[in-house]
Amino acid sequence: MICDFQVSSLQFPLTSKRSKTAITSLQLPYNNMIESLVRKNIQQLKPYSSARDEYKGKTASVFLDANENPYGSPLNRYPDPLQEELKRKIAEVKQVPAENIFLGNGSDEAIDLVFRVFCEPRIDNVVAIDPTYGMYEVCANINDVEYRKVALDEHFQIKAEQLLKACDQHTKLIFLCSPNNPTGNDICREEIVKVIEQFRGIVIVDEAYSDFSEQRPFRLDLGKYENLIVYNTFSKAYGHAAIRLGMAFASTEIIALFNKVKYPYNVNELTQQKAKELLAEGMSKICQRINLILDERTTVMQAFAQLPLCEQVYPSNANFFLAKVSDANRIYNYLVDKGIIVRNRNSVHLCGNCLRVTIGTKEENTQLLSALRVYKP
């Protein structure tokens, strides 16, 4: 596991030349590639300009510009539309310049935005590994964009050339998720690099679970690739799914496009405050909890593999694992009756008779294993 606070001591282009606090933005060589991928209506879009976009100074004390209610401070005021203070804090932790960060209402917002910015409905298409996180396909369908699936192999890996073969001149995006959901494994880094280097479109690497993996996060290599977008979230390792805060890391050109299309006040004030409080506490509690989950992952996976109902436990680099069992539907329902909910992935491609199990607390994991030990087929 590479915790975010340890990342700052690693050697990579962003920090090797710059101090930890003064991370400057990644201005990539501009060669029109990103612009040529953007939908015409988005290129031409004149974005909504909110009251707080127009006045950004700090000195004013009388705000009569946004039709807010003067009573009920502090939640009577609209939040910072670009979440600048929060981004500066995230920049330090994630070691990505604030200018290269987009914040959204969960990473699900950033997943939807990438379609709205780049994909022309009924003309463009996107390519993704299969199986993977379901929202990529849902967002493709909502945006009326063809979604092309390329099956993972029996080790849940993919070769870059297979993904590239599925592309044509209308392919705008390739979705990769590493560690992948629901399979739990890291996708081979060299293959991801090949895709980023060879595809003349946008490559999304969803790193929602990267804090549970030892693989070097791709966000640290943003400076090398103008066509890379990396997603991350407060919902998993940071333990704050309820505040709905997702991150996208990308070139300043792509971040500007996301900001142009997003809702004006997409991250509410309570979320911004809570995230700042969390980061102000420092990373040690978060890292301790990640380590607890990783220790439990080892214990639970070993115990699960010993269960008579278990046929295979697949390797995991995430806070969950996938396991093939004798009868996923029946075991799922048996657990529901006992008040224990896992994710039944039986109907997912390559995941027949598979359950996806999130690592819980020691007590929760013990309850799961105890229930499964007395299961009668």
Residue 136 or 334: which CB sits closer to ligand PMP? 136
Binder of ligand PMP out of 95, 100, 107, 125 (CB under 6 A): 107
- The stretch near ligand PMP (CB under 6 A) out of 71-79, 103-111, 137-145, 257-265 is 103-111
- The stretch near ligand PMP (CB under 6 A) out of 79-87, 105-113, 297-305, 335-343 is 105-113
* Contact between 66 and ligand PMP per CB under 6 A: no
Q: What is the C-alpha separation between 177 and 318, in angstroms, rounded?
A: 11
Phi–psi pair at 163, nearest 5 degrees = -65, -40
- The distance of closest approach from Cβ of residue 132 to ligand PMP in the complex, given in angstroms and rounded to an integer, is 7
> Residue 353's closest CA among 329, 320, 333, 335?
329
- The distance of closest approach from Cβ of residue 320 to ligand PMP in the complex, given in angstroms and rounded to an integer, is 9
- The stretch near ligand PMP (CB under 6 A) out of 7-15, 70-78, 100-108, 329-337 is 100-108
- The distance of closest approach from Cβ of residue 281 to ligand PMP in the complex, given in angstroms and rounded to an integer, is 20
SS3 string, the chain, reads CCCHHHHCCCCCHHHHCCCCCCCCCCCCCCCCHHHHHCCHHHHHCCCCCCHHHHCCCCCCCCCCCCCCCCCCCCCCCCCCCCCHHHHHHHHHHHCCCHHHEEEECCHHHHHHHHHHHHCCCCCCEEEEEECCCCHHHHHHHHCCCEEEEEECCCCCCCCHHHHHHCCCCCEEEEEEECCCCCCCCCCCHHHHHHHHHHCCCEEEEECCCHHHCCCCCHHHHHHHCCCEEEEEECCCCCCCHHHCCEEEECCHHHHHHHHHHCCCCCCCHHHHHHHHHHHHCCCHHHHHHHHHHHHHHHHHHHHHHHCCCEEEECCCCCCEEEEEECCHHHHHHHHHHCCCCCEECCCCCCCCCEEEEECCCHHHHHHHHHHHHCCCC
Binder of ligand PMP out of 241, 292, 305, 341 (CB under 6 A): 241
* 122-161 binders of ligand PMP (CB under 6 A): 133
Binder of ligand PMP out of 106, 131, 201, 223 (CB under 6 A): 106
- Number of chain residues interacting with ligand PMP (CB under 6 A): 12
- The distance of closest approach from Cβ of residue 69 to ligand PMP in the complex, given in angstroms and rounded to an integer, is 30
- The distance of closest approach from Cβ of residue 115 to ligand PMP in the complex, given in angstroms and rounded to an integer, is 15
Residue 110 or 309: which CB sits closer to ligand PMP? 110
- The distance of closest approach from Cβ of residue 11 to ligand PMP in the complex, given in angstroms and rounded to an integer, is 28
- The distance of closest approach from Cβ of residue 107 to ligand PMP in the complex, given in angstroms and rounded to an integer, is 4
Residue 223 or 246: which CB sits closer to ligand PMP? 246
Residue 143 or 233: which CB sits closer to ligand PMP? 233
- The distance of closest approach from Cβ of residue 4 to ligand PMP in the complex, given in angstroms and rounded to an integer, is 16
The interface mask with ligand PMP, positions 206-235, x = CB under 6 A, is: x-x------------------------x-x
Kindly list the strands in the beta sheet with 354-358, ordered across the sheet, starting from the edge strand earlier in the chain.
310-313, 320-325, 354-358, 343-344
- The distance of closest approach from Cβ of residue 181 to ligand PMP in the complex, given in angstroms and rounded to an integer, is 4
* Contact between 246 and ligand PMP per CB under 6 A: yes
Q: Which residues bind ligand PMP (CB under 6 A)?
A: 106-108, 133, 177, 181, 206, 208, 233, 235, 241, 246
